[in-house]
């Protein structure tokens, strides 16, 4: 059993597919029985709430509990904390509303985190097919950078067991909640599960730059507010040799990737809010 917490701000285009994939999970009954889903709709002005509530019957038919919590105030940390306050199960799975889980991922996370020692886990990230050419080629290179090939990234989905959740109290009011949680664990406590989940990238150059700038700002903020966590980073260096290898095999993709990274660094002037650029 697990508690799955889904913060959702105006996600009517994605929440249906997210919940459908979650409710289609397969695996041992001992791992999945009694699962509860907390959809935290914060400051929504679209059909997110109505769509989520449309899955209540399907959840009940499985013996699961689906709760939709409506908040008037926006902000992802607020939504995460509201979901945590309502949840009663462990492990805790924190799932972005635009992510679709592979059919056996939930059971694999539950089984992996079934241990007394603090532990963190995520699945195998697959980038969703993009509509725009620039996002397709950017994603092609992004999935080859050392962080993505050698680390348990946790972008869009991460899970912790009960002892692991004790590593922090409430989610702090910061940009990068996923990095904060990941770095609350030592490298050997972070476990990759070989089951996929599909994570969409934003479309178009300007949106990629905006999101990359937000990511950079989030890391800088975390280093300033919680410098002790940075010692837990295990991200390999993106060496010139690795960069040249990628550029040689995919020169157009590398040029787009480098252009996004450079533009984000040059253009970052203010802290970004909770936005994926859509």
Give the confidence band of 228 by pLDDT, cuts at 50, 70, 90. Answer: very high
Give yes or no for a contact between 59 and 37, defined as CB atoms under 8 angstroms apart.
yes
Domain boundaries, the chain: 3-267
Mean pLDDT of 250-267: 95
pLDDT of residue 258: 97
Digit-coded pLDDT (tens) for 112-170: 999 999 999 999 999 999 999 999 999 999 999 999 999 998 999 999 999 999 999 99
Is residue 272 predicted with pLDDT exceeding 80? no
The CATH number that domain 3-267 falls under is 3.90.550.10
- Reduce the DSSP state of residue 210 to 3 states and report it: helix
At 214 the three-state DSSP class reads helix
In terms of Cα–Cα distance, which of 170, 188, 180 is closest to 230? 180
Instruction: Give residue for tokens 């984000």.
Output: 264
Backbone angles phi, psi at 170, to 5 degrees: -75, 155
Reported as a single tens digit per residue, the pLDDT across 12-23 is 999 999 999 999
Kindly report which listed range (20-29, 169-178, 234-243, 252-261) carries the lowest average pLDDT score: 234-243
Better pLDDT: 268 or 149: 149
Q: Give the orientation angle of helix 133-142 with respect to helix 251-267, to 10 degrees.
A: 90
Over the stretch 47-100, which tens digit does the pLDDT of each residue have?
999 999 999 999 999 999 999 999 999 999 999 999 999 999 999 999 999 999
8 Å CB contact between 67 and 82: no
Cα 203 from chain centre: 18
161-215 pLDDT, tens digit each: 999 999 999 999 999 999 999 999 999 999 999 999 999 999 999 999 999 999 9
In this predicted structure, what is the pLDDT of residue 235? 87
DSSP element (H, E) containing 51: helix 48-53
CA distance 149 to 28: 29
Using 50, 70 and 90 to split pLDDT, how confident is the model at 269? low
The reported pTM is: 0.94
């Amino acid at each position: 059993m697990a508690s799955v917490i889904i913060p959702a701000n105006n996600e009517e285009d994605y929440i249906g597919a997210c919940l459908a994939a979650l409710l289609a999970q397969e695996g041992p009954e001992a791992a999945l029985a009694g699962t509860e889903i907390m959809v935290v709709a914060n400051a929504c002005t679209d059909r997110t709430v109505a769509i989520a509530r449309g899955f209540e019957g399907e959840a009940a038919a499985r013996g699961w509990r689906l709760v939709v919590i409506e908040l008037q105030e926006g902000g992802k940390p607020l939504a995460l904390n509201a979901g945590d306050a309502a949840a009663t199960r462990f492990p805790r799975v924190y799932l972005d509303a635009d992510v679709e889980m592979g059919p056996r991922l939930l059971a694999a996370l539950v089984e992996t985190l079934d241990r007394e020692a603090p532990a963190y886990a995520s699945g195998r990230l697959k980038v969703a097919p993009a509509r725009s050419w620039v996002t397709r080629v950017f994603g092609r290179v992004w999935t080859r950078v050392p962080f993505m090939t050698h680390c348990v990234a946790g972008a869009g989905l991460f899970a912790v067991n009960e002892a692991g959740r004790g590593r922090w109290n409430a989610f702090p009011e910061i940009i990068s909640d996923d990095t904060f949680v990941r770095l609350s664990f030592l490298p050997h406590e972070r476990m990759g599960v070989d089951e996929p989940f599909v994570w969409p990238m934003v479309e178009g150059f300007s949106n990629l730059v905006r999101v990359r700038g937000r990511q950079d700002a989030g890391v800088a903020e975390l280093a300033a507010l919680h410098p002790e966590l940075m010692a837990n980073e295990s991200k390999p260096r993106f060496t010139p040799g690795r960069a040249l290898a990628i550029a040689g095999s995919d020169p157009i993709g590398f040029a787009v990737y480098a252009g996004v990274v450079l533009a984000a660094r040059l253009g970052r002037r203010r802290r970004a809010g909770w936005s994926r650029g859509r």
